[in-house]
Amino acid sequence: MKSLAIRILDPRLGQEWPLPHYASAGAAGMDLRACLDAPLQLMPGQAELVSAGFAMHIGDSGVTALLLPRSGLGHRGLVLGNLVGLIDSDYQGPLKVSLWNRSGEKLHIEAGERIAQLILVPVLRPRLEIVDDFAPTSRGEGGFGSTGNH
């Protein structure tokens, strides 16, 4: 994938605030900004949908986009209301971020503040194969905690 088609919905994006971008040469996620008309106060337990200021179209069925919290904000309690956002390759609508304050304190979000990150990942869409049994493995059907505390 060489490019990602976006349509600017908030004229401040790319003018007052940078377009979504990678903050460092090794960054996996592009920072997304809160395109708000006024600062947002998120009370403990409150969730709000916040515009990222653009629409996007991936256009490649072998790629999907994931929305993730920013590490520092997540540690302070600002996470995504749906935990991880999934954007299908054929979606062309506005990008909105479900912000959820899981902390016990009020959180203040400024217009233009970096609120989440967007990563693009490959998608595998396998054909299902019905089988009677699986080839044995050392783990087998062992579930939660079955591999021990090594």
Q: Is residue 147 part of a domain?
A: no
* Residue 17, domain extent: 5-122
For residue 75, give the H/E element and its range.
helix 71-76
pLDDT tens, 71-123?
888 888 899 999 999 999 999 999 999 999 999 999 999 999 999 999 999 99
Query: Would you say residue 149 has pLDDT above 80?
Result: no
Contact (Cβ atoms closer than 8 angstroms) between residue 7 and residue 94: no
The confidence band for 138, taking pLDDT boundaries of 50, 70 and 90, is confident
63, part of any domain? yes
Q: Is residue 148 part of a domain?
A: no
The single-letter DSSP state of residue 13 is: B
Give the tens place of pLDDT for each residue, 50-77. Answer: 999 999 999 999 999 999 999 888 888 8
pLDDT value at 129 more than 80:
yes
CATH assignment at residue 104: 2.70.40.10
Domain assignment of residue 134, yes or no: no
Q: Cα–Cα distance between 37 and 81 in angstroms, integer?
A: 21
